[in-house]
Structure 1
């Protein structure tokens, strides 16, 4: 196993463990966090703040100075500089789904590790939706 594959594996494991330990895979906890005008539970803000606290120095001292990623010849960055209707629609649908269900792709996949069968339908529907959009995206103007 190459070094960058090992780093990716460890990073993914840390991400998944962090999702489970922090409660980000608990949809009721997420919807309580999103319920700002109701019985708001702010604890997930500390999870996000903690992530930024760790990521920010790593970005500035490890990621940003690099000319290329460890396993690629160049960074794969979008050159789009405009906000279009696809971005707005996609972000709106993502936010709507997250707000209604209280789960998004990362935590949904991390929930597999704790055998959360309740989210299996969500994961299957998410994958089907991704495949449909990928297949028909060129037809969407």
Structure 2
């Protein structure tokens, strides 16, 4: 069974989000998603400074099985990407909630409202179990 963390919120597309400070939200893919994808071999990350809208593609994740779009769960501006994934994309598999995070976004508008539109851990668990 996949690990689902209570302090995170989740998108229908299997991304997680965590408020890190101020209006900044860290984003990655869930343990469930990385299990479905298999061994991750490449992560195409968004460009720092680019604007993203909730639900829009912000990159892709390539595994030995397939290539999947990475969807942004909130609207805002990309402020940081996880440079460690360039050399170690497998961090998404081994540490989806720690070292395998993908990007940070400065949310447009109310960050609590944006995160409130996403699934709670309980709702996400019901979706994937």
Q: TM-score range by the shorter chain?
A: under 0.3
The structure with the greater share of residues assigned to helix is 1
Higher Cα radius of gyration:
1
Taking structure 2 as the reference length, what is the TM-score of the superposition? 0.22
